[in-house]
Structure 1
Amino acid sequence: MTQAPEQMDVDNTANTSASKKSGLPELLNASSPAVQEKYKAAGTIANTVLHALIKSCSPGVSVVELCKLGDMMIDSETSKVFPALKSRGQKGIAFPTCISVNEIAGHYSPFSDDNKKLAPGDMVKIDLGVHIDGFTALVAHTIVLGQIKGKKADVIAATWSAAQAALRLLKPKNKVSSNFFFFKIIKLLLLLLWM
């Protein structure tokens, strides 16, 4: 059973000035240097593992082996930081390495006996998560193996352009509802391209 933050046994004597302002114990305050350091370490490890997996993706490589590689790297890299956190579960895998190929939208972590291998033209979605003391960093990236041409390339280019256009609309204090019509047009264009 998870305890509410106010019920947790936390030493409040080590509060930073930011923690004192918010009234939260330092361990629960995202603006505290200790918490930020853990987030940064988790993020650095997550990005390191992600980039290694991207480089490892090539035709003929087993999806299971890629997932195992990612999880092993997370365990290995997290063992090198914050040595005081020794117990299993205090740091490591927050979200297992997932390799989702083609029509699988995401979060696919295969059984160990799955024999799926990557092939030229595959769209590969990689996602994983790392945590240090419960402070989590999640990363994801999509790649396409090899050169693609024709309609498939057009759809990927259109999707990328639509995502970039939508991203430019997301600004502080900018309501999504004010851009609703634009998002509907993007969706319609993508549907037409996909047909």
Structure 2
Amino acid sequence: MKDECNLDQMKKGGIIHYEVNKYINSIIKPNIKLFDLANIIENKINNLTCHNTKNPLECGIAFPTGLSINNCVAHWTPKLGCNRLLLEDDVIKIDYGVHFNGSIIDSAFTFCFNQKYKPLLESSKTSTEIAIKLARPDMLLS
């Protein structure tokens, strides 16, 4: 029974994660402040999970939203008061998580406005899909 509940929570988190991804893609634009973008993402997660401030460990944001730009690979988060903007020529990696009672759904994606980076994004996506397809139990993936 507990495993079914955990699986249901993970499915729910996965659906919300997908909805947040669609939302980000609909609102992201050049010259948005990274601090504002992180807040928009986190507020959307809290709204969709019905985050309860009286019991914050029940559901909501799994970890601070990562907004890594260009050669910063991962895990950069804007600090309070950060005025850095997302520029039209930037490549951004957006990493966020949703949780229900400790069941975390974590995924990231890369986004760019400039079409010259699209082949890079497509080749990375294709490589990841191939690696997932080839993965087997006890297989070294590094």
Q: Same fold (TM over 0.5)?
A: yes
SS of match in other structure, 1:95: coil
Task: Give, in whole Å, the separation in 1 of the partners of 2:140 and 2:22.
Answer: 32
8 A Cα contact 1:57 1:118, kept in partner:
no
Q: Give the count of matched residue pairs.
A: 142
Partner of 2:23: 52
Matched, 1:100 2:33: no
Task: Give, in whole Å, the separation in 1 of the partners of 2:38 and 2:121.
Answer: 25
Q: CA deviation at 1:173?
A: 4.5
| More RCO (CA 8 Å, sep 6+) | 2
Matched, 1:62 2:27: no
Matched AA of 1:91: C
Give the percent of matched residue pairs that are identical in Structure 1 and Structure 2: 24
8 A Cα contact 2:110 2:121, kept in partner:
no
Structure number with greater Rg is 1
Partner of 2:131: 166
Could you say if the C-alpha distance between residues 34 and 64 of structure 1 is closer, same or farther in structure 2, counting changes exceeding 3 Å? same
Partner of 1:23: none
Specify which of 136, 140, 143 is matched with residue 104 of structure 2.
136
Partner of 1:75: 46
| TM-score (norm: length of structure 1) | 0.62
Q: What RMSD in Å do the two structures reach over aligned CA positions?
A: 2.7
Could you say if the C-alpha distance between residues 88 and 169 of structure 1 is closer, same or farther in structure 2, counting changes exceeding 3 Å? closer
Q: CA deviation at 1:39?
A: 0.9
Task: Give, in whole Å, the separation in 1 of the partners of 2:33 and 2:66.
Answer: 12
Structure 1 residue ranges, 4+ long, deviating more than 3 angstroms after superposition: 152-168, 173-177
| TM-score (norm: length of structure 2) | 0.83
Matched, 1:43 2:8: no
8 A Cα contact 1:47 1:139, kept in partner:
no
